[in-house]
Amino acid sequence: MATLLYTDPRFVDHDTTAGHPERPERMDAVGRGVAASVVAEDLVHLTPREATVDELALVHDRSYLDALERFCASGGGHLDPDTVAAARSWDVARLAAGAGLDAIDRLTAGEADAAFLAVRPPGHHATPSRAMGFCLLNNVAVAAASLAHAGERVLVVDIDAHHGNGTQDAFWDDPRVTYLSVHEHPMYPGTGMVRETGGPNAPGTTVNVPVPSATSGDVYRRLVDDVIVPVAERMAATWVLLSTGFDAHRNDPLTDLGLSSGDYYDLTTRILALAPAGRRLAFLEGGYDLDAITTSTAATLAALAGVEHRPEPVTSGAADEPGHQAVGAARLIHHLA
């Protein structure tokens, strides 16, 4: 199966300053994962285009977009204690957001079965009106909004270790898009509780599964079977977009979850199978251990191509009962039990 791979040397121009965890070297780690992938020769390498302001405005307030462009043009700096924008960051962020849009066009045209968007800066913390959590523009939300605008039923599944508060905010009261997140709790940004289920016009279209530290792959696999599959079937999703944060890997320095790259293979395979071939996208979000990025990239690309490859064994843990309880709570609240 053909898989589109989007990346670009310009992504390193988003300069987050020395010592920042969301650093340009993450792209080098992705590149090593691409080279090591068992499907490396079958990938279709593409250069993304910049998203237009009108496309970004499907998610973001125009006043925010104008302010961010001006901030970068003036040389940039810290937008908050964690989030940095440099002089080139406006252009780079538009490139990251545009990758998904170009992938949608090519997948719709039948050029491939799936796409991996190896982009930076990440996006899922960026709300309609502000940057935060290393994120400037919400890449997956821009893609989902474009699809929803075209009449598609979109499921966004977020497996980053941190809750994607920006994606949740973007679609909180929008019945066209279902957002489902599994994330470590307690953890930045402090949102994503199980009873956060959507606004008055979109009840049940936000699904949160906060899990405790050390949660391993067996909980995630149960989550797919008991929550994600029923949600996708209930909404009859026509596209699945995966926010792939590799910071749920057990070696990540910023989090305390217990996944391996083998688990990422399993999760990507099972989640993206919920949409037809040609309607599947995976977006790079977080992930700050370079070796974990490399092996998890290789696993994810194999999963997208339908080729079995687990660089590390899958994980399970006797201490996972609180995680299973979190899955059970989500089932009850969303009437999936």
Tokens at 68, concatenated? 């961010």
Active site residue 125: yes
Residue 146, amino acid: S
If one counts every other C-beta atom within 10 angstroms of the C-beta of residue 329, the result is: 16
Please provide residue 243's backbone torsions phi and psi, each rounded to the nearest 5 degrees: -85, 100
The span from the CA of 283 to the CA of 116, in Å, is: 6
* CA-closest candidate to residue 164, choices 139, 195, 201, 200: 139
Q: Which of 14, 60, 124, 125 is catalytic?
A: 125
The rounded distance, in Å, linking the Cα atoms of 261 and 296 is 5
Indicate the angle between helix axes 25-36 and 290-305, nearest 10 degrees.
Answer: 40
- What does the alpha-carbon distance between residue 84 and residue 250 come to, in Å, rounded to a whole number? 26
- Catalytic positions: 125
